[in-house]
């Protein structure tokens, strides 16, 4: 999750400490999946998707001595953790923060790889606030944010399975807090988000990888064998094992771990025979994909008098929020964040229209035309990405049990794993959901479960 780190929300620092290659050499892009003749199955574990969950699953299979085939639809690994480059400037298009780093495996991986990380709280920060492009005083009751977060803290009391909006009640400050958390942390309108699901998320120290979280993940997975450009379209689990139809041929496996995003499953991009069990379907129905969206704007060195680390927060008339994060790591780049339906609509319009819209807002916020100084603008519209279908999952109000339903193994041989089931076990109540760390834990757990079910 992004923009508001849960930790910053917990401390009530609205607008501060914002939550805010390649590896493919060892990986083939010419899939050849058929296994050796005479074997009952081509492999022990078929792993679908080479994001954080799929890579962790593959690594664990390796450690356990299980054979696996890892397939990925894109031409790269890493999934929603992806470092893009504007000129030579790294920009994390998806995940940015190593959340709850005290127990997040990516923090340890960064340490082992001697990859530099910084505590997001140690970075320069400051905020300016706008309402419909007009400068305004900072919200009067910033502490309202902390108070509202208290209503979402299971340590302080029972959190009912209602929407964030309902939890906020009629207090305008709480409503503003719910709106900000919904759109900028979860990526959706607060009326669509289960407060209970949100309250279960882990918090802790958030680290940032200046060279790119995506670069770290892709580097870690670089030596794993992956079939890139290989799309799974059908899973047949009628008989023993699992038979998969992919754009690179068919593959049989004793078990399969499917790590594609929830949005991909909901869109029925993959068919199942027999159809997925009722419980799994209810899990899918209980979740939605948010639409936290990013844009990177690279300028020619002009800083418009804005200090390093400043966020320009603009709340539009319909409640949509824009965050222009200025010059992270002293780079000539502004990152713009927005979420919910506003983001979905803008992503549909495409990069040129979206960049133009942000430049119009920015012009009004800073009182001068930034256009002549813009060198490049890139939109990362995950809601329009057919291999993601959104940023990450959240439970709908009243349906906070959805993640547990989705995580149940199917027919003792099919496992759905990824950020949606993020967390080591259901007992952890999926506190790692929405995050790359949670996806890692879910992928690793699925490998262990598959291993246990296969026996020796």
Ligand X SMILES: Cc1cc2nc3c(=O)[nH]c(=O)nc-3n(C[C@H](O)[C@H](O)[C@H](O)COP(=O)(O)OP(=O)(O)OC[C@H]3O[C@@H](n4cnc5c(N)ncnc54)[C@H](O)[C@@H]3O)c2cc1C
How many angstroms separate the CA atoms of 52 and 37, rounded?
Answer: 32
The alpha helices in 157-277, defined as continuous H runs, are 164-168, 172-181, 195-199, 213-220, 262-266
Least Å distance between CB 137 and ligand X? 29
Binding region for ligand X (CB under 6 A) out of 147-155, 326-334, 369-377, 380-388? 380-388
Binding region for ligand X (CB under 6 A) out of 72-80, 135-143, 193-201, 299-307? 72-80
Residues 6+ apart with CB under 8 A from 386: 264, 269
Least Å distance between CB 40 and ligand X? 24
Q: Which of 74, 183, 227, 396 binds ligand X (CB under 6 A)?
A: 74
Least Å distance between CB 445 and ligand X? 12
**Residue 281 or 366 having the CB closest to ligand X:** 281
Residues 6+ apart with CB under 8 A from 155: none
* Residues binding ligand X: number (CB under 6 A): 43
Q: Count Cβ atoms within 10 A of the Cβ of residue 155 and give its class: 0-12 exposed, 13-18 middle, 19 or more buried.
A: exposed
Closest CA to 92 of 22, 181, 20, 25: 20
Least Å distance between CB 231 and ligand X? 5
Q: Which of 47, 232, 322, 326 binds ligand X (CB under 6 A)?
A: 232
Least Å distance between CB 367 and ligand X? 29
**Residue 2 or 296 having the CB closest to ligand X:** 2
Where are the extended beta strands (E) located within 111-157? 118-119, 126-131, 134-136
Q: Which of 186, 260, 276, 446 binds ligand X (CB under 6 A)?
A: 260
**Residue 1 or 175 having the CB closest to ligand X:** 1
Q: Which of 1, 61, 244, 447 binds ligand X (CB under 6 A)?
A: 1
Q: Which of 4, 97, 145, 174 binds ligand X (CB under 6 A)?
A: 97
**Residue 45 or 292 having the CB closest to ligand X:** 292
How many angstroms separate the CA atoms of 213 and 83, rounded?
Answer: 7
Q: Does 231 bind ligand X (CB under 6 A)?
A: yes
Least Å distance between CB 419 and ligand X? 3
The alpha helices in 80-220, defined as continuous H runs, are 105-112, 143-150, 164-168, 172-181, 195-199, 213-220
Residues 6+ apart with CB under 8 A from 303: 326, 327, 332
Q: Does 294 bind ligand X (CB under 6 A)?
A: yes
Q: How many other C-beta atoms are found inside a 10 Å radius of the C-beta of residue 388? A: 23
Q: Does 49 bind ligand X (CB under 6 A)?
A: yes
Binding region for ligand X (CB under 6 A) out of 26-34, 237-245, 257-265, 301-309? 257-265
How many angstroms separate the CA atoms of 236 and 184, rounded?
Answer: 39
Q: Are 339 and 356 in contact (CB under 8 A)?
A: no
Q: Restricting to residues 155-184, which ones interact with ligand X according to CB under 6 A?
A: none
Q: Does 450 bind ligand X (CB under 6 A)?
A: no
Least Å distance between CB 418 and ligand X? 3
Q: Does 381 bind ligand X (CB under 6 A)?
A: no
Least Å distance between CB 382 and ligand X? 4
**Residue 71 or 287 having the CB closest to ligand X:** 71
How many angstroms separate the CA atoms of 210 and 1, rounded?
Answer: 17
CA dihedral 31, 37, 41, 46 (to 10 degrees): -10
Segment holding 335, helix H or strand E: strand 333-338
Least Å distance between CB 360 and ligand X? 22
How many angstroms separate the CA atoms of 240 and 413, rounded?
Answer: 9
Closest CA to 446 of 305, 265, 258: 258
Binding region for ligand X (CB under 6 A) out of 95-103, 115-123, 322-330, 397-405? 95-103
How many angstroms separate the CA atoms of 37 and 346, rounded?
Answer: 50
Binding region for ligand X (CB under 6 A) out of 24-32, 44-52, 138-146, 341-349? 44-52
**Residue 231 or 414 having the CB closest to ligand X:** 231
**Residue 15 or 54 having the CB closest to ligand X:** 54
Helix (H, G, I), strand (E, B) or coil at 320: coil
Query: Interface residues with ligand X (CB under 6 A)?
Result: 1-2, 48-54, 71-74, 79-81, 94-97, 99, 231-232, 259-261, 264, 269-270, 292, 294, 382, 387-388, 391-392, 418-419, 434-437, 439
């Amino acid at each position: 999750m992004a923009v508001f780190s849960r930790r910053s929300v917990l401390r009530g620092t609205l607008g501060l400490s914002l939550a805010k290659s390649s590896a493919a050499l060892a990986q083939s892009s010419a899939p050849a999946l058929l296994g050796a003749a005479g074997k009952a199955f081509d492999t022990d574990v078929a792993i679908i998707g080479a994001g954080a969950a799929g890579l962790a699953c593959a690594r664990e299979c390796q450690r356990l001595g299980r054979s696996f085939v890892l397939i990925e639809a894109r031409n790269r690994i890493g999934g929603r953790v992806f470092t893009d480059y504007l000129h030579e400037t790294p920009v994390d298009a998806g995940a940015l923060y190593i959340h709850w780093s005290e127990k997040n495996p990516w923090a340890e991986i960064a340490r082992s790889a001697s990859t530099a990380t910084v505590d997001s709280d140690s970075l320069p920060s400051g905020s300016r606030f706008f309402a419909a492009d007009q400068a305004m005083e900072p919200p009067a009751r910033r502490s309202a944010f902390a108070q509202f977060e208290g209503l979402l803290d299971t340590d302080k009391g029972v959190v009912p399975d209602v929407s964030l909006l309902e939890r906020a009640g009629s207090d305008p400050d709480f409503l503003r807090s719910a709106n900000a958390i919904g759109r900028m942390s979860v990526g959706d309108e607060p009326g669509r988000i289960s407060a209970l699901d949100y309250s279960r998320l882990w918090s802790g120290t958030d680290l940032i990888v200046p060279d790119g979280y995506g670069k770290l993940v892709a580097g870690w997975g670089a030596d794993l064998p992956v079939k890139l450009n290989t799309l799974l379209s059908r899973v047949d689990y009628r008989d023993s094992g699992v038979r998969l139809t992919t754009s690179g041929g068919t593959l049989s496996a004793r078990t399969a771990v499917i790590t594609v995003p929830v949005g991909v499953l909901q869109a029925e991009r993959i068919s199942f025979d027999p159809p997925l069990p009722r419980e799994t379907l209810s899990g899918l129905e209980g979740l939605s994909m948010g639409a936290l969206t990013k844009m990177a704007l690279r300028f020619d060195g002009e800083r418009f008098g804005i200090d390093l680390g400043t966020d320009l927060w603009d709340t539009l008339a319909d409640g949509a929020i824009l965050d222009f994060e200025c010059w992270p790591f002293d780079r000539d780049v502004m990152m713009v964040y927005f979420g919910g339906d506003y983001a979905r609509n803008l992503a549909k319009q495409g990069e040129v229209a979206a960049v133009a819209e942000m430049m119009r807002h920015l012009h009004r916020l800073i009182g001068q035309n930034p256009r002549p100084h813009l060198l490049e603008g890139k939109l990362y519209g995950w809601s329009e990405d057919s291999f993601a279908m959104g940023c990450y999952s959240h439970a709908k109000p009243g349906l906070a049990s959805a993640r547990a339903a989705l995580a149940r193994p199917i027919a003792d041989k099919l496992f759905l794993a990824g950020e949606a089931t993020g967390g080591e076990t259901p007992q952890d109540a999926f506190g790692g959901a929405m995050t790359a760390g949670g996806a890692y834990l879910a992928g690793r757990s699925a490998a262990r479960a598959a291993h246990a079910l296969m026996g020796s």
